[in-house]
């Protein structure tokens, strides 16, 4: 399969417009780790033409990075390796921390776990309002100059925060939540990215599985599954979102595509976007090729908006996932 690609400033190779998201590979909040399947998932992604792997230290408290590091031995030059910085944790509780000392520690930990000497894309995971953005940006720019990082990105930043960061270091990417059901970035972040030439790494394009087309109303979420606290998965909203998915399938059928492919294609048609397709088993990324090689007609974009307005009278965003600031 030949994947569609997008150029990211500062990187020498074009990025596939679908990336492998590895939060679930870390295990935490996703039912525990499954390393053998995780390794096979990474191998399958490469076979399908995906060359961007996105991770973070907080995914399994380092476990996702370790699994990826092992899986990429002998294949490191095939991928754009993206990880993050500026979340800390204590006793399993996560909080924002982008102090220079934390960054200096995290880069060394990530390089070791990923078994590499350079990270292609290093992203600030969440803005830390207790640390001046100048301090954070200058600390990250030092890593670029030292050859430990090729390009910088931010995640969950507002345009104002990006403006402040860019006074001291360049940004190549922004990573916000974005999918058919969570569209807040269309008001400000997406136009900002277009204006400033940033690639948008859209996380959650399948909205925690809601847009996979495989979820049913009797689905139970157990243990530490984050969907137990996601308002979208609580009734009556859960039923409303599932109704919308059923209605959206009619548009997917028009193109001879799956619901999953429609959800990804919609993200790819909205701008300079890369969809972060999360998976922990090889079969969960089957169908990637369905999302490439076609576009949604404008009339169908309008029909999608009509379905969402009709079926979901009280939509909610992904705010529940935001970690707290430092105490």
pLDDT digits (tens, 9 = 90+) for 221-264: 888 788 888 999 999 999 999 999 999 999 999 999 999 999 99
**Cβ neighbours around 25 below 10 Å, total:** 31
C-alpha distances in Å from residue 36, one per residue of 45, 71, 111, 281, 282: 14, 10, 22, 9, 10
How many angstroms separate the CA atoms of 291 and 305, rounded? Answer: 20
Q: Tokens 């030292």 appear where?
A: 146
How many angstroms separate the CA atoms of 145 and 257, rounded? Answer: 45
Nearest Cα to 21, choosing from 288, 327, 244, 323?
A: 288
All structural domains of the chain: 5-209+267-294 (3.20.20.100)
- Looking at residue 55, what is its pLDDT? 96
- Looking at residue 288, what is its pLDDT? 87
Which position among 59, 122, 178, 192 bears the catalytic label?
59
DSSP state of 174: E
pTM greater than 0.85: yes
CB-CB contact of 304 with 310 (8 Å): no
CB-CB contact of 208 with 233 (8 Å): yes
What's the sign of the alpha-carbon dihedral 156, 160, 165, 166?
Answer: positive
**CA trace torsion 192, 194, 199, 201 (10° rounding):** 60
Burial class (CB in 10 A: 0-12, 13-18, 19+), 140: buried
pLDDT digits (tens, 9 = 90+) for 32-66: 667 888 999 999 999 999 999 999 999 989 999 99
Q: What share of the chain is helix, strand, coil (3-state, %, to 5)?
A: 45, 15, 40
CB-CB contact of 117 with 148 (8 Å): yes
The question of whether 178 is a catalytic residue gets the answer no
Q: Helix 259-268 and helix 237-255: axis angle, to 10°? A: 80
How many angstroms separate the CA atoms of 64 and 58, rounded? Answer: 8
- Looking at residue 36, what is its pLDDT? 86
Nearest Cα to 168, choosing from 232, 98, 115?
A: 98
CB-CB contact of 255 with 294 (8 Å): yes
Cα 227 vs. chain centroid, distance in angstroms?
Answer: 17
CB-CB contact of 8 with 173 (8 Å): yes
**Cβ neighbours around 22 below 10 Å, total:** 28
Residue 18 bridge partners (DSSP): 275
How many angstroms separate the CA atoms of 146 and 140, rounded? Answer: 10
Please list the pLDDT of the chain residue by residue as tens digits (327 residues).
567 999 999 999 999 999 999 988 875 545 566 788 899 999 999 999 999 999 999 998 999 999 999 999 999 999 999 999 999 999 889 999 999 999 999 999 999 999 999 999 999 999 999 999 999 999 999 999 999 999 999 999 999 999 999 999 999 999 999 999 999 999 999 999 999 999 999 999 999 999 999 899 889 888 878 888 899 999 999 999 999 999 999 999 999 999 999 999 999 999 999 999 988 888 888 888 899 999 999 999 999 999 999 999 999 998 888 888 887
How many angstroms separate the CA atoms of 256 and 180, rounded? Answer: 19
How many angstroms separate the CA atoms of 3 and 203, rounded? Answer: 19
- Looking at residue 224, what is its pLDDT? 76
């Amino acid at each position: 399969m030949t994947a569609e690609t997008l150029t990211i400033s500062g990187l020498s190779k074009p990025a596939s417009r679908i990336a492998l998201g590895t939060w679930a590979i870390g295990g935490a909040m996703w039912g525990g780790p499954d390393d053998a399947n995780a390794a096979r998932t990474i191998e399958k992604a490469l076979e399908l033409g995906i060359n961007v792997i996105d991770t973070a230290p907080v995914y399994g408290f380092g476990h996702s990075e370790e699994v990826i590091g092992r899986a990429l031995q002998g294949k490191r030059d095939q991928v754009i390796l993206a990880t993050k910085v500026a979340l800390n944790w204590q006793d399993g509780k996560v909080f924002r921390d982008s102090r220079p000392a934390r960054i200096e520690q995290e880069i060394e930990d990530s390089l070791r776990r990923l078994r590499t000497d350079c990270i292609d894309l290093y992203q600030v995971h969440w803005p830390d309002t207790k640390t001046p953005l100048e301090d954070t940006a200058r600390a990250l720019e030092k890593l670029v100059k030292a050859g430990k990082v090729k390009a910088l990105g931010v995640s969950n930043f507002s345009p104002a925060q990006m403006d402040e960061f860019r006074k001291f270091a360049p940004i190549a990417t922004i990573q916000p939540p974005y999918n058919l059901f969570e569209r807040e970035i269309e008001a400000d972040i997406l136009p900002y990215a277009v204006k400033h030439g940033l690639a948008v790494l859209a996380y959650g394009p399948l909205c925690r599985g809601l847009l996979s087309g495989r979820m049913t109303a009797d689905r139970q979420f157990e243990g530490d599954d984050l969907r137990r606290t996601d308002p979208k998965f609580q009734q009556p909203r859960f039923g409303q979102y599932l109704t919308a998915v059923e209605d959206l399938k009619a548009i997917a059928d028009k193109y001879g595509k799956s619901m999953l492919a429609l959800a990804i294609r919609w993200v790819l048609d909205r701008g300079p976007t890369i969809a972060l397709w999360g998976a922990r088993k090889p079969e969960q990324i089957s169908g990637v090729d369905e999302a490439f090689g076609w576009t949604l007609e404008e009339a169908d974009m309008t029909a999608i908006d009509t379905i969402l307005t009709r079926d979901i009278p009280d939509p909610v965003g992904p705010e529940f996932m935001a970690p707290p600031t430092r105490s």
